[in-house]
Amino acid sequence: MSAGTVTDEELLARADAVAARAYAPYSRFHVGCAVLARDGRVIEGVNVENAAYPLGVCAERTAFSRAVAEGYRPGDFAVAAVTASPCGGCRQWLLEMGVERVVFRNGGRVVTMTPNELLPESFEASDLP
Ligand SMILES: [Zn+2]
């Protein structure tokens, strides 16, 4: 199965569906993320909150952490779909993971941007000594 078999709309629908499984008892703001790997597989994530609020993890990061634990690496991903606009920290993750584009909902619109558009003038691996 190639990465072209899942459309951006279908991927966003997967993110919408998985958002129902978010663990967000504090904010009640459920977020879903569906990442399309280049091998055609879709890896999903949700936000996971904690009573110690700053320890909560975003849907994008749970999706990519799950993917990495299963053997995927930066560059193995084509598209990430998110039910909300990615936060600043997740923009850094999206850049590191090397997705081609990010599709997300923002104020009733569906927006598609590249990681570099989401995080211009970024700090990345090549900046390290
Ligand atoms: Zn985030």
Q: What mean pLDDT comes out for the span 9-25? A: 98
Q: Which of 4-8, 41-45, 90-94, 103-107 has the lowest mean pLDDT?
A: 4-8
Q: Is 60 a catalytic residue?
A: yes
Mark the residues whose beta carbon lies below 5 A from ion ligand 1: 58, 87, 90
- Whole-angstrom Cα distance, residue 106 to residue 54? 23
Q: What is the pLDDT of residue 57?
A: 98
Interval between CA 42 and ligand 1 midpoint (Å): 19
Q: What is the pLDDT of residue 1?
A: 45
Q: What is the pLDDT of residue 5?
A: 85
Computed over every residue of the chain, the mean pLDDT equals: 96
pLDDT at 44 over 70: yes
Report the SS3 class of residue 95: helix
Q: What is the pLDDT of residue 11?
A: 98
Tens of pLDDT, residue by residue over 76-102, are 999 999 999 999 999 999 999 999 999
Backbone angles phi, psi at 102, to 5 degrees: -125, 130
Reported as half-sphere exposure (CB side, CA atoms, 13 A), residue 83 has a value of 23
Interval between CA 94 and ligand 1 midpoint (Å): 10
Cα separations in angstroms, 14 against 37, 90, 97, 101, 123: 14, 19, 20, 16, 30
* Nearest of 2, 82, 9 to residue 46 by alpha carbon: 82
Tens of pLDDT, residue by residue over 56-80, are 999 999 999 999 999 999 999 999 9
Catalytic hit among 10, 44, 49, 60: 60
Interval between CA 127 and ligand 1 midpoint (Å): 22
pLDDT at 3 over 60: no
Interval between CA 30 and ligand 1 midpoint (Å): 12
- Whole-angstrom Cα distance, residue 7 to residue 98? 18
| Residues 73/63, Cβ–Cβ less than 8 Å | no
Q: What is the pLDDT of residue 4?
A: 58
Which residue do the tokens 């570099």 mark?
116
